[in-house]
């Protein structure tokens, strides 16, 4: 083909429109990035064979994908896998994505080691997550295992304990109508769900958490007892008593306290 005219695109002055003439005399046009124009030294009157034309088209695809990646990275740091997934959604081929990543790495626009370190630092400052949850998140972002291990060193045991204590304190303000047993189970399960190791969850409840006082324990027992009573009041005698005891015992209340509560309920009915 023969290039017969080159002009700057009005809507994007970093791209140029190439007007060309095929061997059969047919006219056609295509656009390229200005860097591609410079790389291939395209100019009016230049003849371009089919192989070179395909190279130009591919180079321009890489450039367009590169610009998409830069825009994606402009909002915040991203892992390489995030960039790959974004470009795939945009319909870019594996080869194009590979070349884009090469350019991004060369200019330090992506760096999974720095990304993982920054990610963990952000989680430490803004969340109350344990190492297991952060590890899963980094794995989901495509970070290599050795980089995950290295970045998690920032989450020291002291920092984990500090976050776990804050979670405990927050949960205690919201925890109502629980027996001592239920309360301890709730806190330990909460901390494990948040990614803290089991031994640390137990340490928090055993050493730092204060169990509800007698008044709160009785209040919780009464709350569950009245709910169970409404459920089983249709039963009589021994069956009612067995169902009530089973329901309240599963909640972690002692048999002694359960019997006291059942006596209270009987007294109320007899009044």
Nearest-5° angle of CA 261, CA 267, CA 270? 145
CB atoms within 10 A of CB 74: 9
Those residues with Cβ within 8 angstroms of residue 152's Cβ, 6 or more apart along the chain or in another chain? 120, 131, 134, 135
Residues belonging to the chain: 271
**3-state secondary structure string, 71-111?**
HHHCCCCCCHHHHHHHHHHCCCCHHHHHHHHHHHHHCCCCC
The lowest-confidence range among 8-12, 16-20, 51-55 is 8-12
Cβ atoms within 10 Å, residue 179: 23
Query: Using CB atoms within 10 A of its CB, is residue 261 exposed (0-12), middle (13-18) or buried (19+)?
Result: buried
E strand intervals along 38-165? none
Place of tokens 């306290």: 257
Q: 3-state DSSP call for residue 189?
A: helix
- Please report, for the chain, the start and end positions of each structural domain, with discontinuous segments joined by +: 113-152, 157-208, 217-270
At the topology level, CATH places domain 113-152 in Arc Repressor Mutant, subunit A (1.10.10)
Q: Which pLDDT score, from 0 to 100, does residue 254 have?
A: 79
| Burial (0-12, 13-18, 19+ Cβ within 10 Å), 8 | exposed
Percentage of the chain with pLDDT > 70?
94
* Lowest-pLDDT choice from 79-88, 151-160, 161-170, 198-207: 198-207
Q: Where are the beta strands (DSSP E) in 68-213?
A: none
Stretch among 56-60, 68-72, 179-183, 260-264 having the lowest mean pLDDT: 179-183
- What whole-number distance in Å separates Cα of residue 93 and Cα of residue 82? 15
* Mean pLDDT computed over 72-93: 96
Q: Please give the radius of gyration of the chain, using alpha carbons only, rounded to the nearest integer.
A: 34
Mean pLDDT of 224-246: 86
Mean pLDDT for the chain? 89
Mean pLDDT is lowest, of 39-53, 57-71, 140-154, 238-252, for 238-252
The pTM score is 0.74
The yes/no answer on whether domain 217-270 falls in CATH 3.40.1350 is no
Read off the pLDDT of each residue in 128-134 and give the average, rounded to a whole number.
96
């Amino acid at each position: 083909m023969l290039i017969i005219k080159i002009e700057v695109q009005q809507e994007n002055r970093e791209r140029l429109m190439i007007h060309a003439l095929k061997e059969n005399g047919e006219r056609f046009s295509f656009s390229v990035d200005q860097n591609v124009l410079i790389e291939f030294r395209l100019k009016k009157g230049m003849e371009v064979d089919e192989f070179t034309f395909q190279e130009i088209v591919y180079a321009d695809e890489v450039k367009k994908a590169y610009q998409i990646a830069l825009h994606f990275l402009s909002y915040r740091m991203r892992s390489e896998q995030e960039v790959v997934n974004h470009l795939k959604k945009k319909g870019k081929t594996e080869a194009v994505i590979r070349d884009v990543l090469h350019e991004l790495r060369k200019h330090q626009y992506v760096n999974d080691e720095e990304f993982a370190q920054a990610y963990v630092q952000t989680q430490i400052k803004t969340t109350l997550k344990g190492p297991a949850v952060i590890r899963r998140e980094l794995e989901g972002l495509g970070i290599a295992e050795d980089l995950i291990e290295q970045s998690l060193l920032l989450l020291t045991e002291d920092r984990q304990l500090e976050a776990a204590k804050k979670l405990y304190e927050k949960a205690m303000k919201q925890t109502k109508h629980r027996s001592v047993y239920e309360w301890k189970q709730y806190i330990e399960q909460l901390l494990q769900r948040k990614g803290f190791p089991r031994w640390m969850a137990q340490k928090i409840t055993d050493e730092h958490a204060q169990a509800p006082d007698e008044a709160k324990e009785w209040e919780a027992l009464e709350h569950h007892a009245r709910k169970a009573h409404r459920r089983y009041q249709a039963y009589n005698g021994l069956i009612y008593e067995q169902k009530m005891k089973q329901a309240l015992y599963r909640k972690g209340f002692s048999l002694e306290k359960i019997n006291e509560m059942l006596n209270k309920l009987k007294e109320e009915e007899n009044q």
